[in-house]
Amino acid sequence: MKFSGRTLFNNTPVEITVVDARVQEIREVPSANSTTWVAPALIDIQVNGFAGFDLNVATVTSEDVCAMVRALWQVGTGFLCPTVVTGSFDGVCNSLRAVVEACEMDSLVAHSVLGIHLEGPYISAEDGPRGAHPLEHVREPDWDEFQRWQDIADGDISIVTLAPEKEGAIPFIKKLVANGIVVALGHTDAAPSDIQAAIDAGARLSTHLGNGAHALIRRHPNYIWEQLGADELWASLIVDGHHLPPTVAKSMMRAKTLDRCLLVSDAVALAGMKPGIYEFAGKSVELTADRCVRLVGTEYLAGSAIELARGIENSVRFAGVSLEEAVSLATLQPMHLLNAQAHVEAKTNLILFEWDATYCEINLIATIVGDELVYHTEAQQ
């Protein structure tokens, strides 16, 4: 089997030879299919679940994690940080074990997992900033507890999202940074001084900036403006049209600059499922026809129901960035944040797709992960 196309970032015609579902050769050619683009496999650093598989339920298994990762390959996401959210000590342990065991049982899944993202439980207890995280499990930073989780995770917790105003948060951030972990600010009601103290301690990222926030906040100063204006902080953005209105996404990308932005899906298990009422994180949530997930009876969002490729499309639509720039936000940017260049580039990890410029739509043709063809449109027909 041969694929031909042009590389997205330098417009080089290439031909990819695949034998027995493995890449045998990638070579430059004089010309190639002019409608097919070849780009790096997408990297999503915030995935709570997908296609009905939920990382944050007591029943999650290693088989569930493997199935979720493989479902993500079918939408172009080749790498991810499985995201474990606020829960009981034992609940978090169970989710971490499921991820670790999945990586032990499937080497290709292990290749796709760039680390685990721990989102909470050290976040704000305030309604709004807390989002859909369960109040009963929100607590103060505890280094001994975190170390026990990191031991269970075999050292693979690589991102921690927390609220810097929590008691003991700043020394906790310093310890995380000293251990090579990316510290992200999120689900926070922080004062400007708290945010600056976190930056001084080594925090590097704002998790889904503009979300995990009060419905109504002070005009200025507030914790969104403070993070948006902090050049030291990168910002992850959920560009689904719900978490950030189009004009807000556009404004944030321009203010933060593309060099300090990256896309995340924040996908939950409902992503890829039919609209309806579901139970999620112990709460009743509604998945609407336009792929919005809200806590039933409230205006609070409870994760997203899109895949990362839709965020790329929306970035072009909303912010007027080029296709190359939008894809970079979901590939090169997260790779650099995690310092994962060596791992990602050690093997062939690509997507092939056609781009409908009229409707700003990605039509995925194939996904290659770890030198293996893991998805091909013709094979699914």
Q: What is the DSSP string of 259-326?
A: GGEEE---B-TTTTS-SEEEEETTEEEEE-TTSEEEETTSS-EEEE---HHHHHHHHHHHH---HHHH
How confident is residue 288, by pLDDT bands cut at 50, 70 and 90? confident
Alpha-carbon span 204 to 183, nearest angstrom: 6
152-to-48, 95, 110, 295 alpha-carbon distances in Å: 19, 10, 16, 31
Q: Evaluate whether residue 55 is within a structural domain.
A: yes
What pLDDT shows up at residue 278?
86
Name the residue range of residue 159's domain.
41-339
Task: State the sign of the Cα–Cα–Cα–Cα dihedral 244, 249, 251, 253.
Answer: positive
How many structural domains does the chain have?
1
In a domain, 285, yes or no: yes
pLDDT above 80: residue 282: no
The model's confidence at residue 379, banded by pLDDT at 50, 70 and 90, is low
User: What's the confidence (pLDDT) of residue 4?
Assistant: 95
Mean pLDDT (the chain, rounded): 95
Residue 13 lies in a domain: no
Answer whether residue 31 is part of any domain.
Answer: no
What whole-number distance in Å separates Cα of residue 57 and Cα of residue 235? Answer: 28
**DSSP label at residue 144:** H
Q: How far apart are CA 243 and CA 248, in angstroms?
A: 10
Q: Kindly state whether residue 1 falls inside one of the protein's structural domains.
A: no
Q: What CATH number corresponds to the domain at position 199?
A: 3.20.20.140
What tens digit of pLDDT does each residue of 300-331 get?
Answer: 777 789 999 999 999 999 999 999 999 999 99
* Residue keyed to tokens 């204006």: 229
Instruction: Please report the pLDDT score of residue 341 as a whole number.
Output: 97
Query: pLDDT by residue (tens digit) across 232-280?
Result: 999 999 999 999 999 999 999 999 999 999 999 999 999 988 888 987 7
Q: How many Cβ atoms sit within 10 Å of the Cβ of residue 321?
A: 20
First to last CA, the chain: 17
pLDDT of residue 302: 77
Gap between the Cα atoms of 339 and 153, Å rounded: 19
pLDDT of 380 > 70? The answer is no
Whose CA is closest to 62, among 92, 93, 106?
106
- Would residue 197 count as lying in a domain? yes
Phi, psi of 200 (to 5 degrees): -60, -30
Q: What is the mean pLDDT of residues 209-227?
A: 95
Q: What are phi and psi of 65, to 5 degrees?
A: -65, -45
What span, in angstroms and rounded, lies between the C-alpha atoms of 175 and 202? 10
Q: Is residue 369 part of a domain?
A: no
Helices (H), 74-126: 89-105, 107-112
Average pLDDT over residues 129-151: 96
Domain contains 103: yes
Average pLDDT over residues 112-126: 98
pLDDT at residue 381 above 70? Answer: no
Task: Using alpha carbons, select from 342, 340, 341, 350 the residue that is nearest to residue 372.
Answer: 350
Question: Over the stretch 38-54, which tens digit does the pLDDT of each residue have?
Answer: 999 999 999 999 999 99
Give tens-digit pLDDT for 177-194.
999 999 999 999 999 999
Global pTM reads 0.96
